[in-house]
Structures are given as structure tokens and as C-alpha cells.
Structure 1
Amino acid sequence: MALDNGTPLNSLGFAKPPSETRVVVAMSGGVDSSVVAAQLAEEGYDVVGVTLQLYDHGAALAKKGACCAGIDIHDARRVAEKMGFPHYVLDYENIFKDAVIDEFADSYLAGATPVPCIRCNERVKFKDLLETARDLDADCMATGHYIQRKDGENGPELHCAADANRDQSYFLFSTTPEQLSYLRFPLGHLPSKDATRELAAKYGLSVADKPDSQDICFVPNGNYASVIEKLRPGAAEPGQIVHADGRVLGEHNGVIHYTIGQRRGLGIGGLSEPLYVVKLDVDQKQVIVGPKELLATRKVPVREINWLGDGPFTDMAEREIAVKVRSTRPPAPAILRPISDTEAEVELLTAEEGISPGQACVFYDPDSTRILGGGWIWRGY
């Protein structure tokens, strides 16, 4: 592709040689972002690698498989040294705590089920780090996320990754149009994670066989409750486990130990029917349980909406879309009804179980791979 004056566009979409195009690569130390940096460096771009130190190294070093720990910073630096581009480590510990960890703790204490990885992208990587990239006079910032950015009639559009199994659109719905114009996602078109590892081997990167991170980076072994107790000592107060019909079934040692839809580890036994957590009443310190059918939800209130579709969000009374209410399920048919510029009601055509306040509801075009934005589920049912 070329501009009207005949100047060809480079692979990042700029009408100049790669050597004159500066790109900041957000490097977590994992294979994905390492491949992005190595590939762009090999193509001749002016690459600057940046890794964020998001929390205390000492606590992180003992935990394998979490991004941004000490070993990951070391791995990112080794990739930069091998490929011959500068690499910087920025201390974002205070920013990360204020923007992500504190809200994570407070959301859990309020009975919600937060998704801190989305807030990290929204408030740290695509906000503060993106501004740092601009300060470095970079033309754009690239990441290792599996998602696609495509040029549409009305500007850049966000699209699902070519590999549905790796697609990270659920975690990137809050990317604004302004951010999207500056961001690049070089891995989004790849057919599989194997293809990424093959590229890492081609470039001779030491992280080619490094395992993917699985947990939230600051939550060791997925034990949310222990993290909350450290952040908010004494906040977990005991209370009652109550059946939806009003019967008191037992005691619990803190609402933070439970999530909507949970069946195992409820601490109640001797009952003839399987019971699930259907509601967390923080004010009354109650964990409310009931049969599975009580988990089914069709109407989902959503707020803090980021709209990535064409035209103003409130231009329509309603529209047919597809939505994800959790990252692990494919988009499902729904009706979107705007209430204001930032609020809406989503009606699922087929009821979903275990929807919880604090989770994201992401909007998709039912007829294409385009992401139309999304918002946050915000109250009980």
C-alpha cells in the first residue's frame, strides 16, 4: 500500500523507511513481546524496549509464570542485548498499586469479581506507558497481545486475533480510539502460538520455550483471598451462609473467600441438593447459596462503556450484537440497549450462569471479527 504521492507504507503503516520509524515495544519478558521486539528490530525499525516493574521484585522472584517479575526483566534485557536495541526498566510500582491493586482489593471486599488485567492495560500500559512512548518521540507503541488492528472507513478498528484460542479481545475492550491509533499488535494475524515460538527460535531467543504466564501477576497461585487479607488486614469479617429461601446453613470466615457460581468448598454439608453461591451480600456479611437455576441471568447492567463502533453510542435505540461476559467463552447473541453515553442494558438471548459484578461485558459485531467496545457489569441480580 502507498500514499497518493507514491510513498510506500512500511509494515507499521508509516510512509517512511523502518530505520526512520521509532517504535516502543512493551516487553514483559515473555515470548510474545520478545518476538515482537526481535521481529521489528530485524525489519530495521528503531526499536526501544521498555519493561515495567510493577511490584516488589523480592516477592515476585519466588513465583514462576507471572509477568514483570525479576526474572522476566532479565529475560527482556537479554533479548534486547541479542537484537541490539536499547532497553529500559521503568519503576511503575506506585502507579500500579494505585491504579490496579487497590481497586482489586476494594472490589473484592465489595462482593465483586474484578479483572485486574483489563485495568492494567487501560490505566497503566495504554495510559502511562503510552505517554512515555510519546515522550520518547516514538511513532507508535507495539505489544505482544493477540488482537488485530485494522484500518476502517472511520479510522482504526479493533478485531479479534486470527487464532480464536489466543484472542485477547476480552482484556482490551477499553482501548480508546485515540490509543488505538497509536498502538500496533504485530502478532494478531498469526495462526497459532506455535507460530510465535517458531519465530522466537528463528531469532535465537532464549525465551522461545518459556511457559506462558497463567495467574494474575500479583496473585501467587491464584489465591485471591490471601492477597486481599494482606492488603486490607482485618477486612474479612465472618458471617452467615444463607440459603436463598432464608435458611441459615452455616458460617463463613469472610465474603472474600467466595465467588458467584462457586460450588466447591462452601463449608456446608449434609444437604440433598447441590448448592452454588448465587449472591454475595457484603452489607449483611452473607454468602447466599441456592440451586443452579438461580445463577441464570439474561439482563446485564453495564457501565463505564467504551464504544468502538461507528457513530455515537446513543444514536440507536437498540442493536443486535454478540457479547462475552467472561474471557473463556465465545461471544453469544445479545441485544444492546444504550441508556446514556456510558451505560446500557444488555439482554442475553440465552441465559448465562455465574455472571458477577466486576466482570467485563465485551461487545462484538455479530457479522465480523470487529470488537465494538464494552463495559463493566456493575450490580447484583
Structure 2
Amino acid sequence: MLNYQLGLDFALEQDKKDTLALYRNLFHIPKDTFGNDCIYMTGNSLGLQPKQTKSYVNQELEDWATLGVEGHFNAKNPWLNYHESLGEHMAKVVGAKPVEVVVMNTLTANLHFMMVSFYKPTKTRYKILIEADAFPSDKYAVESQLRHHGFNDKEGLVLWKARKGEELANYRDLEAVLETQGNNIALILIGAVNYYTGQYFDLKRITQLGHKHGCIVGFDCAHGAGNVSLNLHDSGADFAAWCTYKYLNSGPGSIAGCFVHERHAYTKNLNRFTGWWSHNKKTRFKMRDEFDQLPGAEGWQLSNPPILAMAAIRASLDIFNEVGMEKLTEKSKKLTGYFEFLLKQLDEDIIRIITPKNPDERGCQLSIAVNNADKSLHNKLTEAGVISDWREPNVIRCAPVPLYNSFQDVYYLVERLKNILSE
């Protein structure tokens, strides 16, 4: 752990020592009105564009222009198997085996596809447990699954709530809920890193607890993939899904990822929606053959992959593959620890960090509650060249991303926040 110090000199010295500092140059950094780099702290909402993204996408556009349909086989990166290398790189990012990961669809669509297979309600075991402050899309998705199966979406939804006066969820409360309602809960679906508080849950602990009570366990890893060491395989989770446009820098609304544990890889009788891209690759183009299920996560694909979107995520995954999650999380803890240190120098009567203090229980995001603040505070930060994220009623979310944020970024962020608060 670094011995943090006040003053700009400390930040500059840490940036000189940072072995990942040069990776910042691989990304486009938005400019402020004076032409200077913005302090970009919203990689938890939309990651920055790698400079190589344009050339990766242009390569596919060029191959499409010159080869037409033959690009499936003769493009520089043949389209037919394009998604396979992405799966291998993505598996390293989320701590899984290649057979367990596929890049496809979008996040909420993937959650629905997973629930088609893994949410198997009965008359007595049909409820779905989520954290009370889950990302709204997750709540909407599970409510619609309850309705689809003929259940009341309010009575069938079980919420893991934080205690009164607290923001963070407590595992003892989860244990208590499962002790009393476990026999009625068919599925546990938790956001691996809570979008609002930044709390990184213990996936293995939750999975073991859920399995103990006979529940299927899945995770929404939107705020975890590329941010923390998810170790999905070792967690034992049945499934997980995530978007790639946040920490994985694939572009707005881009393609998503999906994990299915290998113990389900060869289970062909799992209920699922199918399409021709989940059919045996060797006979896929014979067209008239009966359906033959692909093993592993690939067996949940429906359609041929969108190559232009995949080119964008490939550009980012190549950087992740070069750096590795171990180095990224090591820098992340130092950078966010420095951010926390500087924030603690501010008036505690005005701001309060609601993200866990333990670095192992959070990623790079810190959520800052500002007393008596409204969105005008966020607007002033934006005018000062800080791109952050506002969440009602009074929370600013900031995420110093280790691939492109610096200690100097963090220093100036806190200085500008301090000046605005003192006005």
C-alpha cells in the first residue's frame, strides 16, 4: 500500500513510476472548452475509445467493400470464426475458461436468455432475489420474467435490502432472507458490483449460500468486467452477463458478454432459445440437418455475429490481453486509494464516501454523497472540465480507470471539487 501524500508533486512522481502510464496514449481523451484534456471519470458509464478502434473497424469495412460475402472466409480476420478469439480474450478478463464465455447480444438480452435456461419456477419455488438497489434494468427484467411465467411480479420479487441508515448490503441479512425464504427462491441475480454504491460483492460466498438453499445463482457483471477480478469460474456461479461499453471500451450500446459455468457446458436438455449459430459448426451450413447443440457458452448464440461491433471490442480486448487484469487491478487499488485519501481531507460534514473502505470490496469507482447538493454541483464540475456521473438524490460517481486515468487526474479532480464546494 502506498504512503499517500498531499500536493501535486506526489501525484506527478507516482505517474512517473507508473508502468501503465503509457497506455493512456492509446486512448482518445475528450477536450474541455480550452482544448485541454478533460478529467474523465466516467469509464463506469462509457469507456473511452482506443485510438486503434477506427483502424480495426475500417479493416472490416475495407474487407466488406473488396470481398463481399467472401469476407466470411478470406477477410484479414475471417468473419465466420471472428467471435472465437474474442471469447478467449474475454475469458481472461472475467476469470473463466474459454468454453464458458461467448461475446453476443446485449446485456439485458443475455440476462433474459440465461433466465430462459436457468429460471425454472415451480408452484412453490418461483421467487427471484435481487439486491434492493439493483440497476433498474435488472429489476425490470426479472419482474417481466415473473409475469411471463404467470406470477405476481411484486410478490415474487425478494429484495436484499441494506439496513436502515446504511447504503451497503450486509451478508448476514442475505443469509437471514435465505433461511426464511430459501425454499421459495428459484433464482438469485445480483449485480457483481453495485452500480450506485460501487460495492463489489463476494461472488463465491453468494453462490455457495444460494446453492446451499437450492437456488440457481447468476450475476450481472456490467460494473465488474474489466474493473475487478471476477474469477467467475472459481465463483461457481451458474451464469453471468455483462456489457462491454463501460470498462471494456467497446463503444456506446455495443455487444455484450455471457458466461455459463462449464458444468452446464454439455447439458443439452437445458431449456433454451436456439438459432443457427448455436448449431454444430461442422454441419451448420448443411441447413437441412436436425438441430445439433453446440457445447459451452457458444451454444446460447442465436445469430451470426455483428462484425463491426466485434471489431470495436477486439480493439480494446487486445489492450487488455497485453496488460492483464492483475496489473490493472494493482494500479486501480493504488489510484482509487489515492482518490479516497484526498477526499478524506475535505470537510466530513459536507461529503461522505458510500463505497466500501476495503479495497477488496470495491473496484475503481467511489460514490460520493454530498450533503444538501443537487445536480448544479455536477454541472459546475462539468464546466470545470471534470466529466463525472450524477445519481439522484446527491451522489457523484467517479471512476479513475487504470488504463487511461492518472494520479494527476485524481489530484486535479479533488482540487476542483474542493474549490466548487468552498464557493
Scaled by the length of structure 1, the TM-score of the pair is: 0.24
- Structure number with the higher strand fraction is 1
Determine which structure has greater relative contact order: mean sequence separation of CA pairs < 8 Å that are 6+ residues apart, divided by chain length.
2
Scaled by the length of structure 2, the TM-score of the pair is: 0.22
- Structure number with the higher helix fraction is 2
